[in-house]
Structure 1
Amino acid sequence: MILLTGFEPFGGDSSNPSWTAVLLAREILRAEGHEVEALELPCVFGESAAVLREAIGRLRPELIICVGLAGGRDRLSLERVAINCDDARIPDNAGNRPIDEPVIPAGPAAYFSTLPVKSALRALQIAGIRAEVSQTAGTYVCNHVFYTLMHELSSAAVAAQARGGFIHVPYDEAQLPRGSAAPSMAARDMGEGIAVVVRTALDAPVDAKLSAGAIH
């Protein structure tokens, strides 16, 4: 079982490309014979984490990939690190705006993704889909969900049977006004990119040793 999650719209947008891309990836992967469920998370601190935990407990997936929007980026970002910090620049969809609060009190400072991010990067490049390994998932609801996911997967009951991580996607080019210069990507490419990451995670128990770091 594979679980893919995206987010509802936030920040005044009428749609969220993370959810569009997840639905496309689900259909691509189901057509290949994979058992895949898709879940739309609320863009709300706390509530998003609770919905994710419930789905993990109910579905017992072997692979969980959460997806969110990173407006301003022009490629898929394979997130490497989730940090134990909620620090909201804007309120969430329920009006919450935590500042310098832990995602999990007494939790570790950070968790690393257990996806083979370097192998996935190489597979995406071969597929002609723009991608990068990102060193920060921010401090908004995306990171909140990413940290929650990795905290759940760190438990002895889950860690032996599941892997997971987070992908940020750009704006969907179809949702931008005509002539907009904002970085974007076609939704179909985002969906195929997520499917590439899923295939790689299922096939690569050990990550490739490639340079994909950052100087700043």
Structure 2
Amino acid sequence: MKVLVTGFEPFNREKINPSYEVVKALPSKIENAEIVKKKIPVVYGDSIETVIEGIKTVSPNIVIMLGQAGGRSCITVERVAINVNDSTAPDNLKNVLKGEPVVKGGPVGYFSTLPIYRIVKGLTRAKIPADISNTAGTFVCNSLFYGVMHYIFENELDIMAGFIHVPYLPIQTLKKPHLPSMSFEEITKGVKKAIMVSVKEYRLKYV
């Protein structure tokens, strides 16, 4: 059994991105499932293609995409991806997209197929702040989430997949003390727990 876990490169003048820092720290196996790690560019389109290439190469059972959500105070498990790219902020190739679909002619949205309620329950039981989020935004995180779910559904793949946002690390808020953060150790523990819950759920459903 394989779990593809992805995290983004830094963006918006940040030197680090907690999503990929956590991915790098994950063990090679969780619940006897192989953990495959991948770094994703903060670029519309390229991010989707990078994960799709990973899916083709790895043939994972589960795909968990991680991203940074500056300003959020807990780990947030995303419920839905929507078919729109819309942001005033540029991606890392300076693309600014306003009201453009992620996939032309694609459905309005896709729901995560991760066990989002069980993940949040597992994290809160472990005393890690977590919640379900009903918006992944309209920047590259949502674009990636939507594009990957579209690929999975269009190709009728038995892959459980979804997106999880993590807060800033404390070092990122030194000059932004008004913004919340979470320790690297706590975020890593939370992501490991999310993977554990997802692996167990996958085995119940598909194995």
1:36 is matched with which residue?
A: 35
C-alpha displacement of 1:179: 8.2
Q: How many angstroms apart in 1 are the aligned matches of 2:117 and 2:156?
A: 27
- The answer to whether the Cα contact below 8 Å between 2:114 and 2:198 also exists between their aligned partners in 1 is yes
Selected match of 1:167 from 164, 168, 174: 164
Which piece of structure 1 moves more, 90-99 or 170-179?
170-179
Change (3 A) 1:32 1:116: closer
Q: Which letter does structure 2 place at the counterpart of 1:98?
A: L
2:60 equivalent to 1:72? no
What's the TM-score once normalised by structure 2's chain length? Answer: 0.93
2:6 equivalent to 1:5? yes
C-alpha displacement of 1:31: 6.4
Show structure 1 runs of 4+ deviating over 3 A: none
Change (3 A) 1:46 1:120: same
- The answer to whether the Cα contact below 8 Å between 1:45 and 1:141 also exists between their aligned partners in 2 is yes
Task: Identify unmatched segments of 5+ residues in structure 1.
Answer: 208-216
C-alpha displacement of 1:78: 0.3
Q: How many angstroms apart in 2 are the aligned matches of 1:12 and 1:110?
A: 30
Q: How many angstroms apart in 2 are the aligned matches of 1:58 and 1:68?
A: 22
2:14 equivalent to 1:17? no
Selected match of 1:200 from 197, 200, 204: 197
- The answer to whether the Cα contact below 8 Å between 2:31 and 2:196 also exists between their aligned partners in 1 is no
RMSD of aligned C-alpha atoms? 1.8
CA deviation map 1:130-150 (0-9, x unaligned): 000000000000000000111
Task: Identify unmatched segments of 5+ residues in structure 2.
Answer: none
C-alpha displacement of 1:182: 1.5
Q: Which letter does structure 2 place at the counterpart of 1:164?
A: A
- The answer to whether the Cα contact below 8 Å between 1:174 and 1:186 also exists between their aligned partners in 2 is no
* Length, aligned pairs only: 203
Write out aligned runs for 1:1-216 (5 A).
Answer: 1-24=2-25, 26-27=26-27, 30=29, 33-158=32-157, 161-177=158-174, 180-205=177-202
- The answer to whether the Cα contact below 8 Å between 1:41 and 1:52 also exists between their aligned partners in 2 is yes
